[in-house]
Amino acid sequence: MFRRAAFMASAAAVIGVAASAYADEPKRGGQLSAIINPEPPILMLGLNQQGPTQAVAGKIYQSLLTYDFDLNPMPSLAREWEVADDGLTYTFHLQEGVTWHDGEAFTAADAVFSLDEFLPETHPRWRQLYRNVASIDAPDDHTLVIELEEPFPAFIMAFETASAPMIPKHLYEGTDYRDNEWNQTPIGTGPFKFEEWNRGSSIHLVRNDDYWKDGKPYLDEIYFEVIPDAASRVTALETQRVHMSRGEDIEFFDVPRVAQLDHLEVTTQGWEMFAPHAWLEFNVREEPISDKRFRQAVMHAIDREFILNNIFFGSGNVATGPISSSTLFYDDNVPEYEYDPDRARELLDEMGLEPDGNGVRTELRLLPIPYGEAWDRLGEYVRQQLIEVGIQTDLEAADAGTWAERVANWDYDMTFNYLYQYGDPAIGVSRSYISDNIQRGTLFTNTMGYENEEVDRLFEEAAREIDPERRQELYTEVQQILVEEVPVGWLIELEFPTIYDVRFENLVTTAIGTNETYDDVYIAE
């Protein structure tokens, strides 16, 4: 839809790769070793949806759909689907001949169990979507019908592996889901079966010989290697001990160097569904942050181009507003915040925050997110930039536990965060800005405490609107309001690199990237 030229160019590059893939016949056999970091706590995708869990469990479990780079739905366990004109009825026609890893047949009853019983109890994101659901039925073994209470066009985006994984009914029905012994040896329908997990070391998946796509998968086995240290991870790629890294496995500054190695290739595709959006989060309950001029001043004090180039080493784009350019309904027609420290000082003067003898106008705390080097540098950079315009900033070091606790309980002035957008603003964007979602103790809600009735109304209306053009108008309006108000300081649309051994084909083919099933992956000679 509304995409950037640069993005199209990189898409073209990968299509080139795909074309060459068709040139020679995919070969059976071989093994893929991929980095996994941090180690997933558990591989049962219905119970845990952390990034590393998704990457591993995405080979074991499947969902109804997957999505191409432009976020168009594509078949997975559903071979066809229809959405009724009133936007209320979703009908999925399931693949035939699908079996679970233990040999039982996968039917629509499993799908009903997963979507109507298991996930509403365990899966926070599905639980949000499930609120729109009136009923889920299986008229026959291969048909699934979902009725919604009200139109919710974003619903079609909710069926990738991690959002709605299919769970085997015969193993879980009537059990305590979290205590079920099958959680340790997960059973799915995917092309790879769980074999062994050496905790702290590696996870071993093997080919599912009874996979429902004939002749697939091509690979015999996949190893996920746990390598906690960033420098060791780069070395592992360089020395060809592993074939693939994903997400933030490789620190951003290493990417340009590694990209030049002959045996490695880099792509930033495969994150369109998630569109990680990084921002500087303000606690707008606090003085003087509650004044939007202060937040605008902070935006002017920060050079986001510098952040992109020197901290994230070009892995992304400068964010223009709340919606990422790879998410649906993005609009770049919004106010801009140039890097202009003088303008920042003017705004602060205007607010009456005059500098004292030491040039200090006000004092604030900044709580950096403990997710690695780049985020540490980002904290140091922002701190220094704010000091330059007279905002004395104290960096508070925190580990993951402290950070999660404090942000969830609103005990911060400023922090960093990045959220996934899941394709549609109604799923991944509005949750951060609507006042309904101000919930103490819960991360990834409207933790900053931003309240604006107009914004609430626009997001609600857009979520229910079936006409895409009308939706676009509503989302454009809300983007303009939010960018003017700066409830958070949007920094970067992150593009996480997938770095892989050039011999491997089809590692990134869809909008969910390395979480894909990998039934198409093969080694070219």
Helix (H) or strand (E) run with residue 299 in it: helix 292-301
Least Å distance, CB 424 to another protein, is: 14
Helix (H) or strand (E) run with residue 218 in it: none
Measured CA to CA, the distance from residue 114 to residue 166 in angstroms comes to 6
Measured CA to CA, the distance from residue 214 to residue 193 in angstroms comes to 16
Quick note: the x/- pattern for another protein over 213-252, rule CB under 8 A, is --------x-x-xxxxxxxx--xx-xx-x---------x-
Least Å distance, CB 354 to another protein, is: 22
Least Å distance, CB 245 to another protein, is: 14
Q: How far is CA 154 from the centre of its chain?
A: 16
Query: Which of 4, 381, 438, 464: binder of another protein (CB under 8 A)?
Result: 381
Least Å distance, CB 135 to another protein, is: 21
Query: Which of 26, 314, 341, 370: binder of another protein (CB under 8 A)?
Result: 370
- Total chain residues near another protein (CB under 8 A): 80
**Of the two residues 424 and 465, which places its CB atom closer to another protein in the complex?**
424
**Of the two residues 238 and 473, which places its CB atom closer to another protein in the complex?**
238
Determine, following the binding rule CB under 8 A, whether residue 401 of this chain makes contact with another protein. Answer: yes
Least Å distance, CB 406 to another protein, is: 7
Least Å distance, CB 131 to another protein, is: 11
Query: Which of 340, 444, 456, 473: binder of another protein (CB under 8 A)?
Result: 444
Tell me the C-alpha to C-alpha distance, in Å, between residue 213 and each of 137, 517, 520. Answer: 26, 12, 10
Taking CB under 8 A as the binding criterion, the range among 103-111, 279-287, 402-410, 494-502 that sits at the site for another protein is 402-410
Nearest to 306 by CA among 381, 380, 406: 381
Burial-class residue 42 by CB neighbours within 10 Å (0-12, 13-18, 19+). Answer: middle
Determine, following the binding rule CB under 8 A, whether residue 117 of this chain makes contact with another protein. Answer: no
Taking CB under 8 A as the binding criterion, the range among 75-83, 104-112, 207-215, 394-402 that sits at the site for another protein is 394-402
The structure tokens listed for 296 are 């605008």
Least Å distance, CB 400 to another protein, is: 5
Measured CA to CA, the distance from residue 299 to residue 336 in angstroms comes to 10
Chain positions 183 to 212 lying near another protein, rule: CB under 8 A, are 183-184, 198-202, 204
Query: Which of 27, 178, 457, 503: binder of another protein (CB under 8 A)?
Result: 178
Burial-class residue 352 by CB neighbours within 10 Å (0-12, 13-18, 19+). Answer: exposed
Query: Which of 11, 14, 42, 524: binder of another protein (CB under 8 A)?
Result: 42
Measured CA to CA, the distance from residue 484 to residue 420 in angstroms comes to 22
Query: Which of 408, 438, 466, 524: binder of another protein (CB under 8 A)?
Result: 408
User: How many Cβ atoms from other residues are within 10 Å of residue 243's Cβ?
Assistant: 25
**Of the two residues 101 and 377, which places its CB atom closer to another protein in the complex?**
377
Beta bridge partners of 522: 505
Query: Which of 6, 84, 134, 397: binder of another protein (CB under 8 A)?
Result: 397
Burial-class residue 12 by CB neighbours within 10 Å (0-12, 13-18, 19+). Answer: exposed
Nearest to 154 by CA among 420, 426, 472: 426
Least Å distance, CB 5 to another protein, is: 28
Measured CA to CA, the distance from residue 69 to residue 39 in angstroms comes to 27
Determine, following the binding rule CB under 8 A, whether residue 442 of this chain makes contact with another protein. Answer: yes
Quick note: the x/- pattern for another protein over 410-429, rule CB under 8 A, is ---------xx---------
**Of the two residues 242 and 481, which places its CB atom closer to another protein in the complex?**
242
Nearest to 369 by CA among 357, 377, 358: 377
Chain positions 253 to 312 lying near another protein, rule: CB under 8 A, are 253-254, 257, 310-311
Determine, following the binding rule CB under 8 A, whether residue 435 of this chain makes contact with another protein. Answer: no
Residue with tokens 């994903």: 246
Determine, following the binding rule CB under 8 A, whether residue 352 of this chain makes contact with another protein. Answer: no
Measured CA to CA, the distance from residue 438 to residue 487 in angstroms comes to 13
Least Å distance, CB 357 to another protein, is: 16
Helix (H) or strand (E) run with residue 140 in it: strand 133-140
**Of the two residues 34 and 148, which places its CB atom closer to another protein in the complex?**
34
Chain positions 50 to 69 lying near another protein, rule: CB under 8 A, are 50-51
Task: Please compute Rg for the chain using Cα positions.
Answer: 23
N-terminal to C-terminal alpha carbon distance within the chain: 37
Least Å distance, CB 85 to another protein, is: 30
Reduced 3-state DSSP string for 373-440: HHHHHHHHHHHHHHHHCCEEEEECCCCHHHHHHHHHCCCCCEEEEEECCCCCHHHHCHHHCCHHHCCC
Least Å distance, CB 490 to another protein, is: 18
Q: Report helix, strand or coil for 483.
A: helix
Least Å distance, CB 446 to another protein, is: 13
Quick note: the x/- pattern for another protein over 470-499, rule CB under 8 A, is ------------------------------
The sign of the dihedral angle between the CA atoms of 219, 50, 198, 193 is negative
Chain positions 124 to 153 lying near another protein, rule: CB under 8 A, are 124-125, 127-128
Beta bridge partners of 486: none
Taking CB under 8 A as the binding criterion, the range among 86-94, 339-347, 374-382, 502-510 that sits at the site for another protein is 374-382
Determine, following the binding rule CB under 8 A, whether residue 175 of this chain makes contact with another protein. Answer: no
**Of the two residues 37 and 268, which places its CB atom closer to another protein in the complex?**
37
